[in-house]
Amino acid sequence: MPTVVYGGQSYECGEQSVLDCLTAQGVPIPSSCRSGSCQTCLMRAIKGSVPEKAKAGLKPTLAAQNYFLPCSCYPEENIEIVLPAEGMGKIEATVASVEYLNADILGIKLHPSKPLTYKAGQFINFFRDAATARSYSLASVPALDHELYLNVRKVPSGLVSGWIFSNLKAGDTVTISEAAGDCFYVPGKPGQNILLIGTGSGLAPLYGIIRDALLNGHTGQISLYHGSYNADGFYLVKELQKLEQYHSNFRYTPCVSEGEAQKDYAQGMVLDIALADNPDLSGWRIFLCGNPDMVNAAKRETFFAGASMNDIYADPF
Amino acid sequence: MSLYTEIGGEPAVNAAVDIFYRKVLKDDRIKHFFDGVDMGKQASKQKAFLTMAFGGPHNYTGEDMRKGHAHLVAKGLNDSHFNAVMENLGATLTELNVPGHLIAQAAAIAESTRKDVLGK
Ligand SMILES: Cc1cc2nc3c(=O)[nH]c(=O)nc-3n(C[C@H](O)[C@H](O)[C@H](O)COP(=O)(O)OP(=O)(O)OC[C@H]3O[C@@H](n4cnc5c(N)ncnc54)[C@H](O)[C@@H]3O)c2cc1C
Ligand code: HEM
C-alpha cells in the first residue's frame, strides 16, 4: 500500500483521500469544499507523482510543479508532500557580476553552488541575513543562460535592495532559496497569443518568459508592453529590439506615462496602451508584473477583455 | 442522469466560471463584496459555488454556507444581493445555451441555500 510522507511522518491512507487521511490523524491542513473545486487544500508532491485526477482544474503552472489537491488524491505510489510555503531549500551562490541597467536598476548575475531547477519568471528569495530575505524574479532561462539573472530596483530606504546597491559586488557569496512561483511559460498551445505587461523591474520575469517561449518555438503573437514614467526607466532595450528583429511574432512597446510624446515610445499608461492595441483578449495568455496597482487593475481589465482567469499569471511587487 | 452530468460536469463548470465571475465583478449591486481578495483564489471559490449549484459533488453543509458568508452578512449582505447572484447565475447558463428546465433545477439548488447564506 502506498505511503504518504508529510512533515517527517509516514501515513497509510487506505481508501481515504490524502486530505481525509491527514486530518483524521490530527494534521492541520487548511481545507474547505473537500471535493476538488475550491483549491484551499493545495499541496505539493516533492517525491513521487500523484494521479492526474488530483491536479484537475489547477493552473498549468501549478500542475507542472506537482501541486495537487489532497482532497482528490488517492495515491498509487509512495509520495512525499508539503504545504505550498514549505520545501524551499536554501543554497549558496557566488555573485558573477553586478552592473547598472539604468540609474535605479541593477543587473545581477549569480552562480549557484549547485544546479538550481527553475523556470524563467519564477523567483528566488535573496537573504541579506538569516532573518531578512526578499524575492527577486529570474530573468534568465535555464537552457540559455549559465547564470541566474536578477534585475533589482532600488526601493527608497529599502532594507534589502538598499543593501544590494551599496554592498554587493562580484565574487561575494550570498544565500538564496530555491525557485518558486507560478508566473512562467508552460509549453503547449504554441499558437496562443501572449500579452505581457510590466513596469520597472517587473520586466525581469517577462524578459525570461519571452525568451523561454521563443526558445520553445512559440508561434502565436508575443506582445510586450513595458511602462516607465520617462525614457530613462527603460532597460534591456537593445536586447529586446534584437529579439524583435529575429522573431516576427514578438513585439516590444515601451510606454512612457509622463511628459511629452516622443519618437520610439508610446505615450500613456502602459495598461491603457496594451488594452487599446489588443481590445479582445479571448483565448490569450497574460503575464503581469511590477507595480501592484497596475498589476491588480490589469488582472481585472484583461479578464474583462476576455482572458480566462486560468490564463492570467501575475506577480505584483 | 444527475443534473451535474446533464449540464456537462466539470468542463461545464470551467466554461461557466469565467462568464459568471465576469458578470459578478461588473455588477454594481454586489461587486464590492468581492473587493480586496485575490482574483485567482476567488475564481476557485466561484467554481465551488457553481459545482454546488449544478448539483455536483461537494461536501458543504448548510452550516458551512452560514459560516462562509457570515462576514458578508456583517457587511450588509441581504436578499437583494442574493437575488443579484441568482440573476447572474441564470444569465450565465442562458449564455451557455443550457436548456431552460436544467437552469430551473440549478436555480432551485442555489435558492435552497438562501436562509443559510443570509444567516437567517
Ligand atoms: C514574487 C516577487 C517577485 C519580485 N521580483 C522582484 C524583481 O525581480 N526585482 C525587484 O526589484 N523587486 C522584486 N520584488 C520586490 C522585492 O522582493 C522587494 O520587495 C523590494 O526589493 C523591496 O525590498 P527592500 O528590502 O529593499 O525594501 P523594504 O525594506 O521591504 O521596504 C522599504 C520601504 O519601501 C516601501 N516599499 C516596499 N516595496 C516597495 C515598492 N515596490 N515600491 C515602493 N515602495 C516600496 C516599504 O513600504 C518600506 O516603507 C519581488 C517581490 C515579489 C513578492
Ligand atoms: C446563491 C447561493 C450561494 C451559494 C450556494 C454560495 C456558495 C459559496 C461557496 C461554495 C463558496 C466557497 C466557500 C469556500 O470554500 O471558502 C462561497 C464563497 C463566497 N461567496 Fe457565496 N454563495 C452564494 C451566495 C452568495 C452571495 C449572494 C454573495 C454576495 C453577493 C456571495 C459571496 C461570496 C464570497 C465573497 C465568497 C468568498 C468568501 C471568501 O473567500 O472570503 N455568495 N459561496
Domains of chain B, by residue range, sit at: 3-117
Is CATH 3.50.50.60 what the domain over A3-82 is classified as, yes or no? no
Within 8 A of B43 by CB-CB distance, chain A residues are 309-310
Please report the pLDDT score of residue A87 as a whole number. Answer: 60
Q: Residue A83: which of A12, A22, A13 has the closest Cα?
A: A22
Fold of A90-177: Elongation Factor Tu (Ef-tu); domain 3 (2.40.30)
Residue with cell 549558496: A92
Residue nearest to atom 38 of ligand 1 (CA): A155
Instruction: Answer yes or no: are the C-beta atoms of A88 and A125 closer than 8 Å.
Output: yes
Q: In Å, how far is A173's CA from the nearest CA of chain B?
A: 36
Within 8 A of B21 by CB-CB distance, chain A residues are 303, 309
Helix or strand (DSSP H, E) at A313: strand A312-316
Q: In Å, how far is A38's CA from the nearest CA of chain B?
A: 5
- C-alpha distances (whole Å) from A94 to each of A91, A113, A170, B5, B83 are 10, 7, 8, 56, 60
Please report the pLDDT score of residue A85 as a whole number. Answer: 74
Please report the pLDDT score of residue A34 as a whole number. Answer: 87
**Which of helix, strand or coil describes residue A167?**
helix
Q: How many residues does chain B have?
A: 120
**Structure ipTM:** 0.90
Per-residue pLDDT reduced to its tens digit, A170-216: 999 999 998 888 999 999 999 999 999 999 999 999 999 999 999 99
**Which cell numbers in the block locate residue A166?**
551599496
Within 8 A of B57 by CB-CB distance, chain A residues are 35-36
Strand arrangement of the beta sheet that strand A194-199 belongs to: A266-267, A250-256, A222-228, A194-199, A285-290, A312-316
Please report the pLDDT score of residue B27 as a whole number. Answer: 97
Cβ–Cβ contacts within 10 Å for residue B110, how many? 20
| Cβ of B34 below 6 Å from ligand 2 | yes
Q: In Å, how far is B11's CA from the nearest CA of chain A?
A: 9
Per-residue pLDDT reduced to its tens digit, B40-94: 888 889 999 999 999 998 889 999 999 999 999 999 999 999 999 999 999 999 9
Fold of A194-316: Rossmann fold (3.40.50)
Searching chain A, which residue's CA lies closest to the CA of residue B60?
A33
Cα(A282)–Cα(A292) distance, rounded to whole angstroms?
24
Within 8 A of B44 by CB-CB distance, chain A residues are 37-40, 57
Q: How far is the CA of A133 from the centre of ligand 1 (A)?
A: 10
Q: Closest ligand 1 atom, CA of A153?
A: 11
**Which cell numbers in the block locate residue A220?**
502565436
Ligand nearest to the Cα of A164, by number: 1
Domains of chain A, by residue range, sit at: 3-82, 90-177, 194-316
- Packed helices B39-53 and A292-304: angle between N→C axes, nearest 10 degrees: 30
Q: Is A293 on the interface with B (CB under 8 A)?
A: no
Between A32, A57, A59, which is nearest B10 by CB? A57
**Which cell numbers in the block locate residue A241?**
529590439
Q: Is B19 on the interface with A (CB under 8 A)?
A: no
Please say whether the dihedral angle defined by the alpha carbons of residues A265, A270, A272 and A275, taken in this order, is positive or negative.
Answer: positive
Give A309-312 contacts, CB < 8 A, sequence gap 24+. A309/B17, A309/B18, A309/B21, A309/B39, A309/B40, A309/B43, A310/A59, A310/A60, A310/B43, A311/A284, A311/A285, A311/A286, A312/A286, A312/A288, A312/B39, A312/B40
pLDDT < 50 regions, chain A: none
The DSSP secondary structure of chain B, one letter per residue, reads --HHHHHTHHHHHHHHHHHHHHHHHH-TTTGGGGTTS-HHHHHHHHHHHHHHHTT-S----HHHHHHHHHHHHTTT--HHHHHHHHHHHHHHHHHTT--HHHHHHHHHHHHTTHHHHTT-
Please report the pLDDT score of residue B93 as a whole number. Answer: 96
Q: Residue A203: which of A144, A149, A265 has the closest Cα?
A: A149
Fold of B3-117: Globin-like (1.10.490)
Q: Residue B77: which of B15, B14, B23, B120 has the closest Cα?
A: B120
